[in-house]
Structure 1
Amino acid sequence: MDLKMRRLQYLYLYMLPILLVVIMGWTVVYAQDNTDDRPNILMVYVDDLDHEPFGFMGNEIIQTPNIDQLAGDGIVFSNAFAVTATCITSRGNLMTGRYAARTGIYFDQFDELTEEQVQMSYPAQLRESGYYTGYVGKWHLGRVPEGVFDDDRRYSGQGQFWSEERPSDGGTHLTDHLGNKAVDMIREAPDGKPFALTVGFKAPHVQDGFHPVEPYPPSPSTAVLYEEDEIPAPPLSDSTFFNSQPELIRKSLGRVRWDYRLGPPESLNFQRSMRRYYRMVTGVDNQVGKMLDALRETGRHDNTIIVLTGDHGLYLGDRGLAGKWLGHETSIRVPLIVRHPGIAGAERGTRREQMVLMIDFMPTFLDWAGLTPKDGVQGQSFAPIVDGQRPENWRTEFFYEHHSFPDRIPPSEGVRTERYKYLRYLDSDPLYEELYDLKKDPDESNNLADESEYEELLQQMRDKWKQWKKDVQ
């Protein structure tokens, strides 16, 4: 064998394997460097969800084991709020990180995000950065241009719990249907890139117009729950307190809906409606459990941030009202649970007291994805608070606004600080204002606006309102 052939044989037998190992090593390193290991984000957004009907909040009647588990594994925010308590406007706040004064979305059912606002939304920005995005359920913000959601299972408007046949005819309750779609979305999300999935449940929102005798139609899986339970009266539900309120509240849509949805706490109608409301909350809890199971089964649970909240609070007979819209605590408070894989064991199940607003979710999701919000975002990322930090510049007050349906709901604005709340009813004549000391009076039963000893405080809160009104534009 000549020298040339020996050299070729040497290269083939000895050098080629070494070269292949080096090439494979380069390939592995390159692949690792290009693997997107940012966390998945699962946002569970529940409609008309009061902040209290959960086991972890001390409710001894309702069954919410999966949400309770989520709270025990995560962080509970005790002071989370909507900045406008109505469905469409609050969704606009959530998606864009902006007040309605800036988005222009005020009127429930009719307004929608502009194409520019959609492109500024958290799903659009996350997708642009490499996330796989999906949405299932109630959207309520008009059409969406192509290229925002990789998996689009939204529906428009309010939807119906029985849009298909009832169970006896082979139909599926909307809550169960959305839960099934959410599980499919989790299972079908591709490997190799993070996902950002939003699940919008209609429940426990009332079924307006379609089931007047059954405003809260539950899933068959929860239909027999709470039948023997007596739901306690909510705060300020007595007729004496209601009759002390001004006419603009006594004749508002909230009272009209109270009359046929609820009635006095001792009435059969109140007990029946509240049991059904509880059943619908438990129905959502069942679907949360299915989503948690799907995350575990697909191996994604340990790299997924789970957020559960509501679009606003709800009057469930409080103050003699039903619905939302006004600026009292029961209307604007929302539950907020964040389960982050990075939370230390000792921190799990603890609470945070900082004020978090609906406009904060968008910048927070971008923060978790390593992104910086574009100009014009009015919210703040609460990701550092989840991590246990105490940002020095965190808010101690916020602005509230509601302008929908002024012929049926009195337009109002206000300011809530850590201790006080000021509400101003814009079209009232003479001007009607409310002022509360939330530390002494958390139920907001004693309006201080007409008491002379609080005149200085009232003026201070008026001044805050004027400044906030300018600042949010």
Structure 2
Amino acid sequence: MILRFLPDFSAMPRRALGVATFLLLLAVTAMEAAQQRAPNVIFILTDDQRYDELGVTGHPVMKTPHLDALARDGALFQQFFTTTAVCLPSRVNYVTGKWERSHTVGFRGERALSDEQWRESLFGVLRQAGYFTGLIGKSNIPGLRQDDIDYYCGSDRTYLGFYPREQHRDFEVLFHGATETTQIEIIGEAARDFLGTDDGFYQRSLPAMKKYLGRRDRSKPFFLYLPFEVPHGTGTRTMAQRPTDDELYRSTYRDRIDDMPLPDNYVALSDWRTPKLPLEIYNGEQSDSYSYRRTPEGVREQMVRNCQTITGIDRLVGRLRAQLEELGEAGNTIILFGSDHGWMHGEWGYGGKCLLYEPSIHVPFIVYDPRPDSIRRGTQIRELAVSPDVAPTILDLCGIKPPESMQGRSLVPLMRRADAQSVEWREDIFLECLMLGQNYPLVQGVRGERWKYMRYWPLRPVPDDYRDMLNFGLRGEKPAYEELYDLKNDPLENHNLAGSPPHAARLEEMRARCIEALRESLGRAPTDPMPSITVEEWRKRTGDFYRMLRSAKK
């Protein structure tokens, strides 16, 4: 490209030639410096989005042109899984690069990340490397240090709601600078403020909140994490189709409601006869958030809302890319897109997540890197990838060595290989459900390319020593129920082969591998102290942020 613009040196006087050569060297040096700059990163995480809920992954109705473009120009992981289908621990997995059993921060476990764990998290490592860091949205990470994030406009609470400023009294302070009322658009306003394309959000924010809305130093690379709380039911169920809502959230897709696809193995409540899991393992009673699953009409209404909110996020992606162009940062900003887990839309009569069936754990994951020669464009990757891989992947893309404590693997080698090049990779992944609530059983499993094994114990109370839960299964405890699926011939997991004599040898093999993978995911001796601290300790250390929210309202 440079040669096209070179002047005719032969016609220049010697002095002018020297000046032209000097200016040309400056231009080339500047271009090389730009290419060597540390990249910016934007990581977008949705809530409860299944793999099949994007245009590029095959949804027959949903329109997601901007995310489809990211996949077309980047890398789409076709077999990406969250290792736990529960919001809180899954989001901790993403930022720590660890399995839940290793970081020990679970739902109702009353644990939080320690100082050391936070320093070795994605946020801690990037900030130490000179990145300007930001978080806007639903963090849901016990142990998060608000003062150690340069731009923090997030909620540690579980729910944001579709209209966040009405969801909780603290959110009126948190999002006081917003002019929008809906979740996606409020997060978009704060993101513009973070990037520096519009500082209205900052100017309208309360003085106490401005302390946490740092002004970006444009000489530094940035990392922006945008975790949403849609299409999660607590976000989409509160959609009210108000006259002030964007037309997208009032009418789009409603003319296609009858075209919304029911799962192939959908069972309405009126047709529910034989439960998939024994009632003593799981009684199927779930929170009202998943009551829509009971009728086909309810499922289709939920799907309309899912389509609306995911398309809303897709639209925000398009706007972010336009803002990056405006700032001159589009060619040096990596964008990643994923979800904390999926959920079931009435498969076998079940709703929600937590259970380790494919609709709950299989999620979309896209990596777009515009830098020349960084990753292969338009590649679709079939290797098994998991949520703990994301943190080391981001660090690797930024030229930073991941901490030894991260258990995930960088996905960069898979994205850079040539067509015929093979990469030594994992053959299976360990899965776990330590929900401890809402009637869910304790579940452990291992999934390979073809075979999937899961073992169950009924719901149990939180033990006095949380290590008893984390070490469960390593002391020879026999499961109360088992499942074995041949995903090649039964991708919908309809036929449990655990009791099939011809598959007895395979069952034994998968049992042994599950225990081995359980031990690997633990990452320490069962008797070692937990690396995390109590939630109470964390609250004592980070109380200023919440005191600020309360005092700002007085």
Scaled by the length of structure 1, the TM-score of the pair is 0.85
Q: Which residue of the other structure, out of 433, 445, 464, is the alignment partner of 2:513?
A: 464
Q: Which residue of the other structure, out of 222, 246, 268, is the alignment partner of 1:220?
A: 246
Residues 329-384 of structure 1 deviation map (CA, whole Å, 9 limit, x = unaligned): 11001101111114669943330111111101111111112221222211100012
1:243 equivalent to 2:261? Answer no
Q: Which residue in 1 is equivalent to 2:427? A: 396
Distance 1:346 1:95, change over 3 A: closer
Contact 1:221 1:283 in 2 (8 A): no
1:198 equivalent to 2:225? Answer yes
Distance 1:165 1:368, change over 3 A: same
Q: How far 1:430 moved relative to its partner? A: 7.3
Q: Which range moves more in the overlay, 156-165 or 326-335? A: 156-165
Contact 1:97 1:363 in 2 (8 A): yes
Q: Which residue in 2 is equivalent to 1:4? A: none
Aligned equivalents of 1:70, 1:104: Cα separation in 2 = 34
Contact 1:36 1:194 in 2 (8 A): no
Tell me the percent identity: 30
1:177 equivalent to 2:191? Answer no
Aligned equivalents of 1:150, 1:31: Cα separation in 2 = 29
Contact 2:130 2:220 in 1 (8 A): yes
Give the partner amino acid of 1:401. E
Q: Which residue in 2 is equivalent to 1:387? A: 416
Q: How far 1:227 moved relative to its partner? A: 1.2
What SS class does the counterpart of residue 193 from structure 1 fall into?
A: coil
Distance 1:371 1:377, change over 3 A: same
Q: Which residue in 2 is equivalent to 1:46? A: 46
Contact 1:74 1:343 in 2 (8 A): no
Q: Which residue of the other structure, out of 492, 503, 514, is the alignment partner of 1:454?
A: 503
1:161 equivalent to 2:162? Answer yes
Q: Which residue in 2 is equivalent to 1:117? A: 117
Q: How far 1:185 moved relative to its partner? A: 1.5
Aligned equivalents of 2:368, 2:41: Cα separation in 1 = 10
Structure number with larger C-alpha Rg: 1
Q: Which residue of the other structure, out of 379, 393, 398, is the alignment partner of 1:369?
A: 398
Residues 119-157 of structure 1 deviation map (CA, whole Å, 9 limit, x = unaligned): 111111011011111111111113533653211111121
What SS class does the counterpart of residue 302 from structure 2 fall into?
A: helix
Residues 212-264 of structure 1 deviation map (CA, whole Å, 9 limit, x = unaligned): xx455575332201112211211311246863442146623448654x22323
Q: How far 1:114 moved relative to its partner? A: 2.1
Aligned equivalents of 1:454, 1:255: Cα separation in 2 = 36
Aligned equivalents of 2:294, 2:272: Cα separation in 1 = 14
Give the partner amino acid of 1:455. A
Q: Which residue in 1 is equivalent to 2:439? A: 408
Contact 1:216 1:273 in 2 (8 A): no
Distance 1:471 1:244, change over 3 A: closer
What SS class does the counterpart of residue 483 from structure 2 fall into?
A: strand
Q: Which range moves more in the overlay, 99-108 or 129-138? A: 99-108
Residues 179-216 of structure 1 deviation map (CA, whole Å, 9 limit, x = unaligned): 221222123643222111111111111117xx9xx455
Distance 1:370 1:347, change over 3 A: closer
Contact 2:375 2:412 in 1 (8 A): no
1:300-319 alignment to 2 at 5 Å?
300-319=329-348
1:55-454 alignment to 2 at 5 Å?
55-107=55-107, 110-145=110-145, 148-157=148-157, 158-164=159-165, 172-187=181-196, 189-207=216-234, 214-215=237-238, 220-222=246-248, 223-229=250-256, 230=258, 231-238=260-267, 239=271, 243-248=275-280, 251-254=283-286, 257-258=289-290, 260-265=291-296, 268-342=297-371, 347-388=376-417, 392-406=423-437, 408-427=439-458, 431-454=480-503
Q: How far 1:33 moved relative to its partner? A: 7.4
Give the partner amino acid of 1:176. E
Contact 1:43 1:308 in 2 (8 A): yes
Q: Which range moves more in the overlay, 91-100 or 36-45? A: 36-45
Q: How far 1:282 moved relative to its partner? A: 1.4
Distance 1:29 1:84, change over 3 A: same
Aligned equivalents of 1:371, 1:125: Cα separation in 2 = 9
Aligned equivalents of 1:384, 1:40: Cα separation in 2 = 20
Aligned equivalents of 1:198, 1:412: Cα separation in 2 = 30
Q: How far 1:316 moved relative to its partner? A: 1.7
Give the partner amino acid of 2:333. T
Contact 1:252 1:410 in 2 (8 A): no
Residues 43-75 of structure 1 deviation map (CA, whole Å, 9 limit, x = unaligned): 011111111122112222112121112222211
Aligned equivalents of 1:224, 1:255: Cα separation in 2 = 27
Contact 1:255 1:321 in 2 (8 A): no
Q: How far 1:269 moved relative to its partner? A: 2.3
Distance 1:147 1:224, change over 3 A: same
What SS class does the counterpart of residue 433 from structure 1 fall into?
A: strand
Give the partner amino acid of 2:434. H
Aligned equivalents of 1:353, 1:197: Cα separation in 2 = 28
Q: Which residue in 1 is equivalent to 2:530? A: none
Aligned equivalents of 1:75, 1:292: Cα separation in 2 = 17
Q: How far 1:313 moved relative to its partner? A: 1.3
Count of residue pairs brought into register by the alignment? 442
Aligned equivalents of 2:488, 2:286: Cα separation in 1 = 26
What SS class does the counterpart of residue 164 from structure 1 fall into?
A: helix
Distance 1:133 1:256, change over 3 A: closer
Q: How far 1:286 moved relative to its partner? A: 1.6
Distance 1:415 1:72, change over 3 A: same
Give the partner amino acid of 1:416. R
Q: Which range moves more in the overlay, 429-438 or 221-230? A: 429-438
Aligned equivalents of 2:394, 2:375: Cα separation in 1 = 24
What SS class does the counterpart of residue 181 from structure 1 fall into?
A: helix
Distance 1:79 1:31, change over 3 A: closer
Contact 1:75 1:347 in 2 (8 A): yes
What SS class does the counterpart of residue 468 from structure 1 fall into?
A: helix
Give the partner amino acid of 1:221. E
What SS class does the counterpart of residue 234 from structure 2 fall into?
A: coil
Aligned equivalents of 1:244, 1:103: Cα separation in 2 = 31
Distance 1:278 1:34, change over 3 A: closer
Aligned equivalents of 1:36, 1:152: Cα separation in 2 = 28
Give the partner amino acid of 1:202. E
Aligned equivalents of 1:228, 1:130: Cα separation in 2 = 49
What SS class does the counterpart of residue 93 from structure 2 fall into?
A: helix
Contact 1:79 1:353 in 2 (8 A): yes
Q: Which range moves more in the overlay, 300-309 or 268-277? A: 268-277
Residues 281-319 of structure 1 deviation map (CA, whole Å, 9 limit, x = unaligned): 112112112111111111111111110000111112222
Aligned equivalents of 2:196, 2:428: Cα separation in 1 = 41
Distance 1:103 1:165, change over 3 A: closer
What SS class does the counterpart of residue 262 from structure 1 fall into?
A: helix
Aligned equivalents of 1:355, 1:217: Cα separation in 2 = 39
